[in-house]
Amino acid sequence: MKTLTFWEGCRKAALTVICVAASAGMFAFPQQAAAKKKKIGIQLYSVMGAMQKDPAGSIKRLSDMGYNTAELVQWGGDTKVFGLDPAEFKAICDRNGMEIVSTHTGIQEDPAKEDEVIARWRQIFEIQKACGGRYVVIPSYGVDYTEAGVQQMCDYFNRIGKIASEYGLKLGYHNHSGEFNKLKDSDKVMWEYLVEHTDPSYVFFELDVYWCSKGGKDPVAYLKKYPNRIRMLHVKDDFVIGASGTIDFEAIFDQFYANGMEDYVVEIEIPGWLREERNAAGEKLSDAEIMAHMFEAAKQSAKYLSKAKFVK
């Protein structure tokens, strides 16, 4: 048997370590890749102040936390995305592995300016299609809470949703808690009326599970009742996702996936107590300090969802 020199022995040992590490990597990598591909979305309104000042830095920061899907904000049909041209913003997202799935924008119906309103919608649809998104969601809408008023809202949504379909997009509506009240002149719940009087071919619903719960309704019950109408979720809590223990996210995700849906985004709103918080100098927190708290909440929320076995 050949006796190895000292250096030959070292070389052999080093090669053995490398081979063992490589072999371990072969088994570990698929698990790591699967974890990395877990879809975790965020509504960029959650860190709106930071997005407006430093969109590129903010997207990178969110991406590093594990977010890989984004919902934009283009209030009122704004043709800029956080002050940038859509192509420039998309390039930032692409560099950071962030897929644009949707945008929030609301354009109120105005019969006196019908052509102008439709032209603004078409601009938004063109932008969203260019960004690779699938949905355009109306985040809120001013309406008379009578049956006639809500029916007019439904008719408007159907009309705009049909135009969205020309671009291969779906028009959606995002709720707050007020939509779960009954109409002024009937026993019908406004949100249910919206679902039942809009065209499924053109209009879908983004269910904000937090506001649904605050409105006294069960998100899971609605997911079971309207399985094909709720195509997106806003995952929200008092602050950090999962921290309050008041929202049954596991049941919500289980039913959402059972319905064949998968698009959801975290939304974190600045809580009232944070606006009243004082810093070391005894002053109310600056915008930058508030954003620091919001990013930390986003980080902890991503961590919760990343670890949750019920999130795919």
Q: Is residue 7 a contact partner of residue 229, using CB atoms and an 8 Å limit?
A: no
What are the tokens at 299? 């980080």
Q: What is the percent of the chain where pLDDT is above 90?
A: 88
CA dihedral 87, 91, 93, 94 (to 10 degrees): 130
Q: Residue 224: pLDDT above 60?
A: yes
233/257 Cα distance (integer angstroms): 11
17/19 Cα distance (integer angstroms): 5
197/186 Cα distance (integer angstroms): 15
What are the tokens at 273? 């107590």
Give the pLDDT of residue 298. 98
Question: DSSP assignment, residue 153?
Answer: H
Q: Is residue 47 a contact partner of residue 265, using CB atoms and an 8 Å limit?
A: no
Q: Residue 254: pLDDT above 60?
A: yes
Give the pLDDT of residue 7. 39
Query: Any residues with CB less than 8 A from the CB of 130 and at least 6 apart, and which?
Result: 86, 87, 90
Give the pLDDT of residue 37. 76
Q: What is the pLDDT of residues 275-290, one digit of tens each?
A: 999 999 999 999 999 9
Q: Residue 171: pLDDT above 90?
A: yes
Band the pLDDT of 137: cuts 50, 70, 90: very high
Q: Residue 91: pLDDT above 80?
A: yes
Query: Any residues with CB less than 8 A from the CB of 51 and at least 6 apart, and which?
Result: 44, 58, 73, 82
Q: Residue 185: pLDDT above 80?
A: yes
Average the pLDDT over each of 32-46, 72-86, 156-170, 260-274 and give the range with the smallest value.
32-46
Q: Is residue 294 a contact partner of residue 48, using CB atoms and an 8 Å limit?
A: no
Q: Is residue 141 a contact partner of residue 171, using CB atoms and an 8 Å limit?
A: no
Q: What is the pLDDT of residues 69-83, one digit of tens each?
A: 999 999 999 999 999
Average the pLDDT over each of 30-44, 132-146, 187-201, 224-238 and give the range with the smallest value.
30-44
16/117 Cα distance (integer angstroms): 69
Alpha helices in the chain (DSSP H): 6-36, 48-53, 55-65, 86-95, 114-131, 147-165, 190-196, 209-214, 219-225, 249-258, 272-276, 287-307
34/302 Cα distance (integer angstroms): 16
Q: What is the pLDDT of residues 92-122, one digit of tens each?
A: 999 999 999 999 999 999 999 999 999 999 9
Say if pTM beats, i.e. exceeds, 0.75: yes
71/103 Cα distance (integer angstroms): 5
Amino acid (1-letter code) at residue 295: F
